[in-house]
Structure 1
């Protein structure tokens, strides 16, 4: 091999290898917080837009649903990889999402009531 030949060739890592160090220490704390935020946003979009009638809301729901239920592990911020890194059971979370959706379909009035969040006044400092 010529000297320096491998320098400019891309390194290939699978997501599990890349994030293996996340399980130790706080060196990856910001990345873990970002992953948690991505997961939380997807779950909130799924719940909030599950019965949306407008195109934008429907699209938000479909994107969240597709991401949550995708078995793809090839990209770092996939549902599977985020759950793995954060220590969540992906199958369990999916079951909970499915059960929530079934309950919401069975009782639309209860679901509509759950969407009415109490309003709080927030004062600026």
Structure 2
């Protein structure tokens, strides 16, 4: 007889669940939703760095690839933004992702696949991002004085 169906097991199973029991605080992720978005952005960036720089021979692109590879495929890692913690929080199986990345890398090295992650929609800026130069400040001051 299984424990759940025994008399002892039935003592711990309520007849009715209240909404508070059903929708307990563990299911409400509104407090950590911004953290999950940040974690997803970190994971996406690491995947993009890994795939877009896999063919780099040296320089900054090779460093980006090596850092992304270490974070994505390396063992261990502690803290709230370790690969394992990020995957767990986002509901992703880390070993499945490891396996997929290794297979992609092997195919890429063998020349079988060059498919990469889709690019995010480009950021379009309008106007100037940096502060105007010295001459621009004078022109703006003159224009506002008129």
Fold shared per TM-score above 0.5? yes
1:27 to 15, 25, 31: 31
2:62 to 54, 58, 61: 58
1:86 aligns with 2:90: yes
Tell me the TM-score normalised to structure 2 length.
0.58
1:101 to 101, 105, 108: 105
Deviation track 1:13-33 (CA, whole Å, cap 9, x = no partner) reads xxxxxxxx7753322111100
1:77 aligns with 2:81: yes
Q: Higher Cα Rg: structure 1 or 2?
A: 2
**Counterparts in 2 of 1:86 and 1:94: CA distance versus 1, 3 Å:** same
Where does structure 2 lack aligned partners over 5 or more consecutive residues? 1-24, 127-146
Deviation track 1:42-98 (CA, whole Å, cap 9, x = no partner) reads 011000011112310100000000001233242110000000011000000011101
Judging by fraction of residues, say which structure has more helix.
1
Q: What number of residue pairs does the alignment pair up?
A: 100
Deviation at 1:106, TM superposition (A): 1.2
Greater Cα offset, 40-49 or 70-79: 70-79
Where does structure 1 lack aligned partners over 5 or more consecutive residues? 1-20
Mapped partners of 1:29, 1:45: distance in 2 = 24
Question: Could you say what the CA RMSD is over the residues aligned between the two structures, in angstroms?
Answer: 2.9
Tell me the TM-score normalised to structure 1 length.
0.67
